[in-house]
Structure 1
Amino acid sequence: MRRLAAGWWRRLALCLPLLVAGCATHLSTINAPAITQSGPRPDVDVRRLSPRPYTPPDWPESLEARVLLPDTPADARRPAALLVHGGGWQRRTPDDMEEIAERLARRGYVTVNVAYRFAPEHRFPAQLHDLQQAMAWIHEHADAWRIDTERIVGVGYSSGAHLVSLLGVSANVDALAKPHGGDHARLAAVLAGGLPSDLMKFDDGRLVVEFIGGTRAEKSEAYRQASPITHVDADAPPHFLFHGRWDGLVPVDHATDFHAALVDHGVTSELYLQHYRGHFTSFLLRDGAIEAGIAFLDRQLLDD
C-alpha cells in the first residue's frame, strides 16, 4: 500500500509543474508567435499618478482612471494601454488589472486603468460609451503624457475583454458611437482574455440579460450589436486572444470562432489556448499568456 501511495505522489509531483506552468496551444497568423521572436527588454521605473476622473461633470456617473507613466527618454512619444477589468459587467474593480498595468508600464507603455458603469443600473451601450470617453480623455492628455495616439492598445479580461474588443472592432459603427461625438475610439491592437465574443451563444443567463436589458428573443438586435464577432472586418485591430480550454463560463469556442473570423478577414491574430484552465484560473495563472500578449503588442507597435 505504501508503495502504491508513493507511486501516486511521484506521478502527482511530475504532473504539478505542467498544471502550474500550464501548457498552451499557441496559434499565429504570421510566421511564428511573437513571443518566440522577442528578445528581453529592460524594465523602466514607473511614476504613479493619483486616481482622477476621466468623465466630464455632466456624465451620468463620475468614473476614475489610474495612470502609470514610464520613465522613458524625454523626447520620445510612448504607446499607451487602456485597461478594463472583468466582473460580468457589474462588479469588481480596477484592482484586478493593476499587476498587468504595472507590467506594461515597466515595458514603456503609459497605462490607463479605468472603472466603468455597472449593469443592471446602466445597460449596454453605456459601458462602451465610458470607454470611448476614456479614449477621448487619453487623447486630451497625449501631449502632457507624451502618448503616441496612433499606438493605443486595449487590454482586458472577461467582460473587460469584451468591452475593449468591442471598442476596437466597432470604431466605425454609428449606432454605437458616444452620444457627445468624438473620433478617438480607434485601437491599434487588443489583448483580450476570456473574451465573450458572441453574446447570442449564451442561454439567457442573468449577467448577459441584465447587461443588455432583456433576453435574446426580446433584444436580438442589441445582442448582435453588443457582440464583437458581429463587427469583424478587414479594419479590425490585431488581436491577441488567450482562453482556458476548460472555461465553463465563457466556452472556448468564443475564442476559436473569433480568431477564425479575424483570420478570414485578413486581420493579424494570435490565439493562446491554456490547457487545464477554467475561466478564473486562466486569469489567476496568466503569466505566460500575458508575456506572450505583450510580445504581440510590441510586435504590432514597436517593431515598425
Structure 2
Amino acid sequence: MPPIVHGFRTLTLCLPLLLAGCATHLDGNGPVATPALPEPVDYRVERLAPLPYTPAEWPESLEARVLLPETREDRLRPAALLVHGGGWQRRSPDDMDEIAERLARRGYVTVNVAYRFAPEYRFPAQLHDLQQAMAWIHERADEWRIDSDRIVGVGYSSGAHLVSLLGVSGNVDALSEPYGGEHARLAAVLGGGLPSDLFKFDDGRLVVEFIGGTRAEKPEAYRLASPIYHVDADTPPHFLFHGRWDGLVPVDHATDFHAELLTQGVESELYLQHYRGHVTSFLTRDSAIEAGIAFLDRQLREEASSTVLTQTPPTQYATQAPVPSSDLSVHADARQP
C-alpha cells in the first residue's frame, strides 16, 4: 500500500479519537468536573417490530421503533423519545438507531419516531406528532413498565428543535392545545445542533417551508416555533452539544439558549465540539452523547431512585464558551443528519 494511502487511512481511523478530546463542557458554574461514577450497565435489548403510534384519523400514519431493555421486573424504567433531524423535511429514524440502542442498553425504553415533513405539513404539525407520541407512550406505560414521570427527549438538528419545543410547550397555550397536556411533559432534553431561535435564520428555504412564510410574513409563528422565547422555571433541564464551526445552525443558537436557560434557573450543560460543523458534530458525537446520557441519568435519579441508571463520566474541559451573539445567520440548503 502506498505510504500516502496508508497515512490517509490511519488519519481517517484516528480522527474520531482525536476529535473526541476537543470539546468544552460547561454548566452554570463553569467547566464540568469529572465525578467518580460507577461502571455503566449493559442490558440485553428486545427490539419490537415498528408500531404505528398515530390514531386512524391522523393525517398521516406514523411509526415508532421501540427497544425494551431486559431490566428487573419489579422496577419501572425511564423512557426516551428520539427524533431525527433533516431540516424538518428529510431523513428517517435510521439516524437515531445507534443512540436509541445505546440508551436502551443503559436501561431506557426507547421510542424512535418518524414525523410529518414540511413543506406538505407545516408547523405546528410536527410538534403535534410528538405530542401524540407522548400520549401513546403514556398509554403503554404499564405494559412496558415505564415511569411516566421520567421520559426524556433526545434529538439532533431539527429533531433537537422539536424535542426542545415539546419540552417548553406546556408553558404556552398556543403550543399545548389541542394535543398537549400533562402527558407531553419531558423530564429532560438532550439536543445537538439545536436551532433555538428561528429569527436568526435569514429566510432560508428550509425554515420558510417549515413555517410557511418569511419572518416578516409570520413573525408570531417564528416566535412560537423558537424554544428560546418560552423558557421559564418549569422548562426541563437541557444538555446541549454543538459544533463550534457549525455553518448551518451557528453556535450562538446553543450559547444563547444555554445562557437563557441558566437565567431562568433551569439546569443546563453546554458541550461545545471544536473543529466541527453541523454534520461532523453528529458523525463524531460519541463523547457528547456519553456526557449527555450522564446528564440525563442525574436528572432522572433526582426524580426517583427506583431504577438502576448508568453513570458515564463526562470529560473535564477548561476553555471558555464563545460570547453569545444576536447577529443573524444564514440558513444554507445543505443536508442535515
The normalised TM-score by structure 2 is 0.83
Q: Is the 8 A contact 1:61 1:117 kept in 2?
A: yes
* 1:272 is the counterpart of 2:271: yes
Q: Structure 1: which 5+ residue stretches go unaligned?
A: none
* 1:103 is the counterpart of 2:94: no
Distance 1:35 1:131, change over 3 A: farther
Q: Which runs of 4+ in 1 moved over 2 A?
A: 15-22, 29-39, 177-183
Question: Residues 8-60 of structure 1, C-alpha deviation per residue, up to 9 Å, x if partnerless?
Answer: x9xx89x9577443410000126863864433222000000000100000000
* 1:244 is the counterpart of 2:229: no
Partner of 2:322: none
Question: Residues 237-290 of structure 1, C-alpha deviation per residue, up to 9 Å, x if partnerless?
Answer: 000000000000000000000000001011100000000000000000000000
- RMSD (Å), alpha carbons: 2.1
How far apart are the structure 2 equivalents of 1:87 and 1:233?
Answer: 28
Between 200-209 and 163-172, report the one with greater CA deviation: 163-172
Q: Is the 8 A contact 2:16 2:284 kept in 1?
A: no
Task: Report the 3-state secondary structure (helix = DSSP H, G, I; strand = E; otherwise coil) of the residue aligned with 2:116.
Answer: coil
Q: Is the 8 A contact 1:35 1:291 kept in 2?
A: no
Partner of 1:295: 294
Task: Report the 3-state secondary structure (helix = DSSP H, G, I; strand = E; otherwise coil) of the residue aligned with 2:242.
Answer: strand
Question: Residues 59-104 of structure 1, C-alpha deviation per residue, up to 9 Å, x if partnerless?
Answer: 0000000000000000100000000000000000000000000000
Distance 1:17 1:286, change over 3 A: closer
Question: Residues 147-185 of structure 1, C-alpha deviation per residue, up to 9 Å, x if partnerless?
Answer: 000100000000000000000012131111243564311
Q: Is the 8 A contact 2:131 2:179 kept in 1?
A: no
Partner of 1:44: 43
Task: Report the 3-state secondary structure (helix = DSSP H, G, I; strand = E; otherwise coil) of the residue aligned with 2:155.
Answer: strand
Distance 1:34 1:195, change over 3 A: farther
Give the letter aligned to residue 60 of structure 1.
P
Q: Is the 8 A contact 2:170 2:180 kept in 1?
A: no
Q: Is the 8 A contact 1:116 1:131 kept in 2?
A: yes
Question: Residues 122-152 of structure 1, C-alpha deviation per residue, up to 9 Å, x if partnerless?
Answer: 0000000000000000000000000000100
How many residues get paired? Answer: 295
Task: Report the 3-state secondary structure (helix = DSSP H, G, I; strand = E; otherwise coil) of the residue aligned with 2:253.
Answer: helix
How far apart are the structure 2 equivalents of 1:45 and 1:204?
Answer: 46
Question: Residues 212-240 of structure 1, C-alpha deviation per residue, up to 9 Å, x if partnerless?
Answer: 00000000000000000010011110000
How far apart are the structure 1 equivalents of 2:38 and 2:273?
Answer: 23
Distance 1:109 1:35, change over 3 A: farther
Partner of 1:145: 144
Q: Is the 8 A contact 1:132 1:178 kept in 2?
A: no
Q: Is the 8 A contact 1:22 1:276 kept in 2?
A: no
1:17-36 alignment runs, 5 A limit: 19-29=18-28, 33=32, 36=35
Partner of 2:84: 85
Q: Structure 2: which 5+ residue stretches go unaligned?
A: 305-337
Give the letter aligned to residue 211 of structure 1.
F
Q: Is the 8 A contact 1:155 1:164 kept in 2?
A: yes
Distance 1:237 1:64, change over 3 A: same
Partner of 1:184: 183
Partner of 2:257: 258
How far apart are the structure 1 equivalents of 2:126 and 2:143?
Answer: 26
Distance 1:60 1:39, change over 3 A: same
Between 156-165 and 19-28, report the one with greater CA deviation: 19-28
The normalised TM-score by structure 1 is 0.92
Higher relative contact order (CA 8 A, sep 6+): 2
How far apart are the structure 1 equivalents of 2:54 and 2:34?
Answer: 36
* 1:74 is the counterpart of 2:73: yes
Distance 1:90 1:17, change over 3 A: closer
How far apart are the structure 2 equivalents of 1:17 and 1:169?
Answer: 34
* 1:217 is the counterpart of 2:216: yes
How far apart are the structure 1 equivalents of 2:189 and 2:181?
Answer: 21
How far apart are the structure 2 equivalents of 1:265 and 1:140?
Answer: 32
Task: Report the 3-state secondary structure (helix = DSSP H, G, I; strand = E; otherwise coil) of the residue aligned with 2:162.
Answer: helix
Partner of 2:125: 126
Identity %: 80
